[in-house]
Amino acid sequence: MSGIYNRKRSHIVICTEKDVAFRQSTLLEEVELLHCALPELDLTDVSLATHIAGHTITHPFIIGAMTGGTGDGNAFNLALARTAAQFETAFCLGSIRPALVDPTCIPEFDVKKEVPNVLVFANIGANQLSTFGAPQILDLARRLADGLMVHLNAGMELIQPSGDTCFSGQVDAIARLVEVAGDFPIVVKETGMGLSLKDGVSLKQVGIKTVETAGAGGTSWIGVETERASGTDKAVGELLRDFGIPTAASISWMHQLGLETIGSGGVYTAMDAARAIRLGSCAVAMARPWLLAYQADGIAGLWALMEELILGLKYLMVCVGVKDISSLQKADCIIGQRLQQYLNFK
């Protein structure tokens, strides 16, 4: 158990102190939204409300999966939950694996006890689906949250000291989870290397309706594990730390497949969010920027960041001449050549 605590704690330290950002871009800059000089809009008419996994949220800035299970109490998760509740958006817990192994740390994840009105998703790794089994995971997820996000992270596990090296059987395990879950929402997410077209097809076939891209261009999780690795794994980590599908491409593909898509992976500003939404995201999620904002200024830092994102997106929507998220998804734009190459890929 202390191994999981130490790993989760060292992830937070590395993500705070080290340069773990991708050196390659999200390709969101290849989406050029066109300015509208005659918007015929009042700022107060602009609505950022959207839908995610059967729920309506007032603002599309989801707080992505990070923590819980550090053994440090749940101060960070509570601050994130309070922020999500205050701004009527959703929040995803970090992996609940520690709580499945040791029920004494369930309170670290139980944010609803203090913030009952928050829309929260629990989180678990795809490889843990067969370790614990769908019924046990869903029992805990139902107790803590309104839905469950399953994360895929093969690249990160390979570089992680003592990480998993076998990833077969994950699609079947997700299929079984969806079957047992019934109406309880199941979302599948990557963790920074992006979902491919083939991944999207496989997930759709087993009944997944909502995905989070976590594409390349934001936090590199191979980069994070490379900081912890040594010897040959460290050298291979350096080689692979920028490998992955750019966020913009992954979003477009998931949307093209008709999957409800949360755009994430380096979606850090209101401009990034507008571009991700234009490519078909219904909402966006970010992770590391929340951690940095919290480390800098506690919950005030989280609220300031959320306010800046909301105001930025509203102003931008006026400048583009659209008043809601579904209009932004169809706004006039020009797509650059590099992103277009991904969009042409079949």
Ligand X SMILES: Cc1cc2nc3c(=O)[nH]c(=O)nc-3n(C[C@H](O)[C@H](O)[C@H](O)COP(=O)(O)O)c2cc1C
Q: How far is CA 273 from CA 151, 155, 187, 265, in A?
A: 22, 26, 20, 11
Buried b (16+ CB within 10 A) or exposed e, 87-98: bebbbbbbbbbb
Q: Does 94 bind ligand X (CB under 6 A)?
A: yes
Q: 4 is written with which tokens?
A: 């999981």
Radius of gyration of the chain (CA): 19
Q: Does 219 bind ligand X (CB under 6 A)?
A: yes
**DSSP label at 28?**
G
Q: Does 273 bind ligand X (CB under 6 A)?
A: no
Considering beta carbons, is residue 94 or 163 the nearer one to ligand X?
94
Q: Does 291 bind ligand X (CB under 6 A)?
A: yes
Q: Does 147 bind ligand X (CB under 6 A)?
A: no
Q: Which stretch binds ligand X (CB under 6 A): 136-144, 255-263, 282-290, 297-305?
A: 282-290
> For ligand X, which residue of 98, 155, 185, 218 counts as binding (CB under 6 A)?
218
Q: Does 151 bind ligand X (CB under 6 A)?
A: yes
Residue 272 and residue 284 in contact, taking contact as beta carbons nearer than 8 Å? yes
Q: Does 89 bind ligand X (CB under 6 A)?
A: no
Q: Does 306 bind ligand X (CB under 6 A)?
A: no
Query: Which of 54, 57, 89, 59 minimizes the C-alpha distance to 317?
Result: 59
Q: How far is CA 333 from CA 258, 261, 312, in A?
A: 21, 19, 18
Q: How far apart are CA 131 and CA 139, in angstroms?
A: 15
Considering beta carbons, is residue 118 or 273 the nearer one to ligand X?
273
Q: Which stretch binds ligand X (CB under 6 A): 108-116, 189-197, 312-320, 327-335?
A: 189-197
Q: How far apart are CA 75 and CA 301, in angstroms?
A: 14
171-174 long-range contacts, CB within 8 A, separation 24+:
171/202, 171/203, 171/206, 173/126, 173/129, 173/130, 173/134, 174/126, 174/129, 174/150, 174/203, 174/206, 174/208
Size of the site for ligand X (CB under 6 A): 24
Residues 97-126 that bind ligand X (CB under 6 A): 123
Considering beta carbons, is residue 15 or 90 the nearer one to ligand X?
15
Q: Does 301 bind ligand X (CB under 6 A)?
A: no
> For ligand X, which residue of 4, 12, 36, 236 counts as binding (CB under 6 A)?
12
247-256 vs 197-205: helix axis angle to the nearest 10? 40
> For ligand X, which residue of 27, 60, 64, 199 counts as binding (CB under 6 A)?
64
Q: Does 265 bind ligand X (CB under 6 A)?
A: yes
The alpha carbon torsion through 174, 289, 62, 192 (nearest 10 deg) reads -30
Q: Does 278 bind ligand X (CB under 6 A)?
A: no
Q: Does 246 bind ligand X (CB under 6 A)?
A: no
> For ligand X, which residue of 288, 302, 323, 339 counts as binding (CB under 6 A)?
288
Contacts with ligand X, residue ranges (CB under 6 A): 11-12, 15, 64-67, 94-95, 123, 151, 189, 191-192, 214, 218-219, 264-266, 286-288, 291
